[in-house]
Amino acid sequence: MSGENSFDILNRIFIAKKQQKIEDIKGYTMKYGNIVENGQIIDEVLVSYFKAPKSYTTENMCEINSHGGNIIVKKILEICLKNGAELAEPGEFTKRAFLNGRIDLLQAESVIDVINAKSEREAKTGIKQLEGMLSKKIADIKQDILDVMVNIEVAIDYPEYDVEEVTNQQIVEMLDKVEPKLQALEKSFDNGKIIKEGIKTAIIGKPNVGKSSLLNAILKEDRAIVTEYEGTTRDTIEEFVTIGGIPLKLIDTAGIREAKDEVEKIGIVKSREMAKEADLIIAIFDSTKELTAEDIDILELIKNKKSIIILNKIDLPTVLDENNSLLKKYSSNIIKMSALNQEGIEQIEENIIKLFNFNDINFDNETVITNVRHKNLITKAIENIKKTREIIENQMPVDMIAIFIKNILENLGNITGDIVEENIINEIFSKFCLGK
């Protein structure tokens, strides 16, 4: 519970073993006792006290730790509601933390990311944003702009002093300084998107080459399959896995696994559908057999796509290898593997790192934009920088320039939420789950 009356409500329903007045209880402490209704003990609990302003929401807060299990938890919730508490909206605790100024909007949004993280890397990025690394970067950029805004205001307020020329020079210097920083952030979204959504990956190949065996090998390696999604094409399921910490969203894993009987085996038609959707294609071939016309059809699908060719079943005598001139024509990433013996998975990982330039990014130190709302606002800010430059080149008066610079500030302010409309705030917090 959070809010002015939370301790009053608590007093009505909780009897501590060692009674103490609320004024005498320190924040960040716990008390042991019972939740009681009409003299009946409902559960034995621990209650944590957080006193304003040192709490998640900055309000008086308490947390009741009951025994697990749906019935008891539901019962205690009911008792709280009966005694005057109101059910929180999704994200309401975090929303209060934002509205009360403890965190900015960007940090509030990263709380959702941390909760929903599907890979360690995504969680790490979320935590970093929660710590305020991105907020600080945005704040620094805003400060650079504000420093120059002061001079602009002077030029507007005292037109009799001829400060305009100096000011224009300073504005251009400021734009030169700020623009690359914003561009770097904008670009980081390419990777941010991958961190958040995974690389959309299709495993294709004609029947019996080992698609489902590869899938199993990846899943065994990864043990922690996190989520299944509805695929974008009808009747498909997408599974989120990580290979060496790189998140992949595998397209139609169910289709591959279920296609057991010979007639149903996933072949070229299905492969074509999957390839269309994918950011990365893993094309598998049976290295014990010569390439067939069907294999060539598969190869045609990886043209102009990021792709990895896998020559499977190398535990058996092979006829195909990475020197095959036809294969080399289609991709330079050729891996020999045995899905059966789970050999070769690390090479897949290395190839993906190479294909997506992951080595160039230092995930631990770099600030990465993962949220499309933030990305769009940064893009708008860059557009407004370009417009400001045009206005200056066209010798427009300084008050016109000021309008465009204020637009840049507004775009950045919308990211951290210093200025932001209520409906946007509501939309953001509606994405939270209850109780967060």
| Interface with ligand GDP (CB under 6 A) | 205, 207-213, 256, 265, 312-313, 315-316, 338-340
Type of residue numbered 11 = N
* Closer residue to ligand GDP, CB minimum distance, 58 or 338: 338
Q: Which residues of 167-202 are buried (b: 16+ CB within 10 A; e: fewer)?
A: bbeebeebbeebbeebeebbebbebbbbbbbbbbbb
Residue 132 Cβ vs ligand GDP, minimum distance, rounded to whole Å: 47
- CB-nearer residue toward ligand GDP: 107 or 338: 338
Residue 31's contacts (CB-CB under 8 Å, 6 or more residues apart) are 16, 17, 18, 20, 25, 46, 47, 49
Q: With respect to ligand GDP, which residue has the nearer C-beta, 213 or 242? A: 213
For residues 350, 356, 358 and 364, what is the CA-based torsion angle, rounded to 10 degrees? -130
Taking the complex as a whole, the smallest distance from the CB of residue 431 to ligand GDP amounts, in Å, to 37
When the beta carbons of 193 and 211 are compared against ligand GDP, the nearer one is: 211
Instruction: Quote the least distance from Cβ 65 to ligand GDP, whole Å.
Output: 48
H/E element, 306: strand 306-312
- Minimum separation from the CB atom of position 349 to ligand GDP (A): 18
Residue 51: how many other CB atoms lie within 10 Å: 18
The set of residues, in sequence order, having a beta carbon less than 8 Å from that of 277 and lying 6+ positions away, is 200, 202, 231, 232, 233, 251
Q: Which is nearer to ligand GDP, 185 or 218 (CB)?
A: 218
The residue whose two tokens read 């009409």 is 38
In the complex, what is the shortest distance from the CB of residue 280 to ligand GDP, in angstroms, rounded to a whole number?
18
Tell whether omega for the bond before 53 is within 30 degrees of 0, i.e. cis: yes
Q: How far is the CB of 202 from ligand GDP (least distance, A)?
A: 13
Closest CA to 6 of 59, 66, 77: 59
Q: Residue 226: CB partners within 8 Å, gap ≥ 6?
A: 118, 119, 240, 241
- Closest approach of ligand GDP to the CB of residue 236, in Å: 16
Separation of alpha carbons 137 and 135, rounded Å: 5
**Distances 180 to 163, 187, 225 between C-alpha atoms, Å:** 27, 10, 38
User: In sequence order, what are the residues at sequence separation of 6 or more whose Cβ sits closer than 8 angstroms to the Cβ of residue 300?
Assistant: none
Q: Who's near 436: CB < 8 A, 6+ residues apart? A: 90, 91, 93, 94, 111, 112, 115
Q: Which of 202, 215, 334, 326 is CA-nearest to residue 274? A: 202
Q: Is 385 exposed, middle or buried (0-12, 13-18, 19+ CB in 10 A)?
A: buried
Q: Are 251 and 231 in contact (CB under 8 A)?
A: yes
d(C-alpha 238, C-alpha 201), whole Å: 9
Our CB check for ligand GDP shows the closer of 349 and 410 to be 349
Least separation in angstroms between CB 354 and ligand GDP: 23
Q: Which residue lies nearer to ligand GDP by CB, 209 or 381?
A: 209
Query: 91, exposed or middle or buried, with CB in 10 Å at 0-12, 13-18, 19+?
Result: buried
CB of 203 to ligand GDP, least distance (A): 8
Q: How far is the CB of 311 from ligand GDP (least distance, A)?
A: 10
Comparison of 339 and 428: residue with beta carbon closer to ligand GDP = 339
Minimum distance between the CB of residue 299 and ligand GDP, rounded to whole angstroms? Answer: 16
